[in-house]
Amino acid sequence: MHSIDTMSALVQPHQVHRDIYISQEVYRLEMQHLYRNAWIFVGHDSQVAKKGDYYTTQIGDQPVIMVRHSDNEVYVLYNRCPHKGTKIAIDRQGNTGKFFRCPYHAWSFKTNGCLLAIPLKKGYEGTGLGETESAKGMKPVGAVKNHRGFVFARLAETGIAFEAFFGDSLSSLDNMVDRSPAGRLEVAGPPLRYMHKCNWKMLVENQTDTCHPMVAHESSAGTAVKIWDEMGNPEPRPMAMQIIAPFMSPYEFFEEMGIRTWPNGHGHTGVHHSIHSDYSAIPGYFDAMVASYGEDRTRAILGENRHNTVYFPNIMIKGPIQQLRNFIPLAADRTLVESWIYRLVDAPDMLLARTAMYNRMINAPTSIVGHDDLEMYERAQEGLAADGLDWVNVQRLRTGPEDFDAEAIENGTTERQMRNQFDAWVKFMAPQPAAAARAAE
């Protein structure tokens, strides 16, 4: 039987216990602690562009609504009527006008959650309803932060502050947004929704697992290269080949790519270059950028080719192509992956077309590359049931003690970022220091 006190025993510097992946008890503890204490991605504010627009989603296992209030701010409320618990909204998105109205007994609430009206209100005179939590309306989550359009929330009332949690890792998010001449992104269509019968952490670890592509994706990328060969390598290579071929890059490529880790479990691959480096230039884009930023700044922005940036605990972004993947934990052995793409405002459509192609080619339930990966995850979820070995190894390129509170850049094939995530996992599974709490006020 697991309890919050036994969690740290599941993580050793060089290996982690399989229960972290297969125990439903550990999953429940993650929902109660990790997903309450950490800052979790909720959505993009362009999904709720107009006042009254709302979007229903979840934080960990908590149903929430992201909504644009009349003060034009984005609020995140628990999707739960304070009367009898009915979900206020079920549609994935919509516009509720000036207020929410519960469909069961028509209690209504302002779009910041405050109770607005109760039909036949006199029925509550003298009942003391005013003293109950119910009278306060729809409860907001502990804290919300809209960082350049990306909305994050912390369920816990108190805890680490947004800036303290993400620190310099925000540079990846900023670079993704800076790539818009207008410095703004807009969500482009609905996300892919891909169900995985495995633990959510396997997916997060895979984002910086640079030793698997040439092996696991040989079937897709390798075959693509082979066919192209047979066709005599005609140039220019179409977008599809530009996207899929780099998955077959040799180990050296990934070693030199480099990996950077930041405190609190964040990190990214592609410090020096990435599989996105050699995408052919899109006519008109560079000029549009220069017009906005000037040439030096433009070169600096586009010079970054970070591959995958992991924001602990459960999202990954690809700055160069404006993609965000959300690894939503549904159970110890069940994860829903949403893959979102964004439009660079004022940039040529062709960039978005390439991003859309990347998304469907690599991350769709129908994607051959996706099939390669999912097969590995589901095999591992089943394999970990074997008593042969209780531990999962994460010690590649760990030659001594590591300090994860310090930013570091290492060889691109290190598993340090996986270790960094587990260091943060232990930290945010534990009760949070009051100090941090105060800091957050």
Partner 1 sequence: MIPSRDDLIDFVYAEARMLDEGRYDEWLALWMPEGIYWMPLDYKQTDPDLITSLLYEDQFMLRLRVERLNGQRTFSQKPKSRCHHVIQRPFVDLHDPDANRYVTNTSMHYVETRLDEHFLLALTATHELVVAGGALRIANKRVELLNSDAAFGNIQLLP
Q: Least CB distance from residue 395 to a copy of itself, whole Å?
A: 5
Tokens representing 152 are: 């994050």
- Our CB check for partner 1 shows the closer of 183 and 222 to be 222
Instruction: Kindly tell me which residue out of 52, 167, 183, 222 binds partner 1, with binding defined by CB under 8 A.
Output: 222
Tokens representing 195 are: 């169900």
Characterize the bridge pairing of strands 267-269 and 259-261. antiparallel
Instruction: Kindly tell me which residue out of 195, 291, 385, 389 binds partner 1, with binding defined by CB under 8 A.
Output: 195
Instruction: Kindly tell me which residue out of 8, 84, 105, 238 binds partner 1, with binding defined by CB under 8 A.
Output: 238
Q: Alpha-carbon dihedral of residues 122, 125, 131, 132, nearest 10 degrees?
A: -50
Contact 274, 307 (CB under 8 A): yes
Characterize the bridge pairing of strands 315-318 and 323-331. antiparallel
Q: Least CB distance from residue 350 to partner 1, whole Å?
A: 9
Question: If binding is defined by CB under 8 A, does position 196 make contact with partner 1?
Answer: yes
Distance CA 185, CA 177 (A): 6
Q: For residue 341, report the phi and psi dihedrals to the nearest 5 degrees.
A: -130, 155
Residues 6+ apart with CB under 8 A from 321: 276, 341, 354, 355, 358
Question: If binding is defined by CB under 8 A, does position 191 make contact with partner 1?
Answer: yes
Instruction: Tell me the number of residues near partner 1 by CB under 8 A.
Output: 48
- Our CB check for partner 1 shows the closer of 227 and 389 to be 227
Q: Least CB distance from residue 71 to partner 1, whole Å?
A: 26
- Our CB check for a copy of itself shows the closer of 85 and 232 to be 85
Instruction: Give ∠ CA 22-259-301 in degrees, rounded to 5.
Output: 120
Residue found under tokens 């994607």: 367
How buried is residue 116: exposed, middle or buried, by Cβ count under 10 Å (0-12/13-18/19+)? middle
Distance CA 304, CA 300 (A): 7
Instruction: Kindly tell me which residue out of 6, 86, 93, 292 binds ligand FES, with binding defined by CB under 6 A.
Output: 86
Q: Which stretch binds ligand FES (CB under 6 A): 72-80, 99-107, 127-135, 172-180?
A: 99-107
Residue found under tokens 């959300």: 326
Judged by beta carbon distances under 5 to 8 A according to partner kind, the member of a copy of itself, Fe ion, ligand FES, none in contact with residue 280 is: none
Q: Which stretch binds ligand FES (CB under 6 A): 103-111, 123-131, 222-230, 341-349?
A: 103-111
Question: If binding is defined by CB under 6 A, does position 379 make contact with ligand FES?
Answer: no
Q: What is the DSSP string of 70-120?
A: TTS-EEEEES--TTT---S--SSEEE-TTEEE-TTT--EEETTSBEEE-TT
Question: If binding is defined by CB under 8 A, does position 219 make contact with partner 1?
Answer: yes
- Our CB check for a copy of itself shows the closer of 284 and 391 to be 391
Q: What angle in degrees, to the nearest 10, is found between the helix axes of 295-303 and 285-293?
A: 120
Q: Which stretch binds ligand FES (CB under 6 A): 14-22, 54-62, 80-88, 237-245?
A: 80-88
Q: Least CB distance from residue 411 to a copy of itself, whole Å?
A: 8
Q: How far is CA 427 from CA 192, 378, 430, in A?
A: 31, 27, 6
Judged by beta carbon distances under 5 to 8 A according to partner kind, the member of Fe ion, a copy of itself, ligand FES, none in contact with residue 387 is: a copy of itself
Question: If binding is defined by CB under 8 A, does position 343 make contact with partner 1?
Answer: yes
Among residue numbers 16 through 75, which ones bind partner 1 (CB under 8 A)?
Answer: none
Residue window 307-336: x/- pattern of binding to partner 1, with contact defined by CB under 8 A: -----------------------------x
Report the sign of the C-alpha dihedral through residues 305, 308, 309, 315, in that order. Answer: positive
Cβ neighbour number for residue 123 with a 10 Å cutoff? 10
Which amino acid type is present at position 337?
V
Residue window 96-115: x/- pattern of binding to partner 1, with contact defined by CB under 8 A: -------x------------
Instruction: Kindly tell me which residue out of 14, 105, 197, 299 binds ligand FES, with binding defined by CB under 6 A.
Output: 105
- Our CB check for Fe ion shows the closer of 304 and 373 to be 373
Contact footprint for partner 1 (CB under 8 A): 90-92, 94, 103, 188-197, 216, 218-220, 222-224, 226-227, 238, 240, 336, 339, 341, 343, 349, 352-353, 356-357, 359-361, 364-366, 368, 370-372, 374-376
Contact footprint for ligand FES (CB under 6 A): 81, 83-84, 86, 102, 104-105, 107
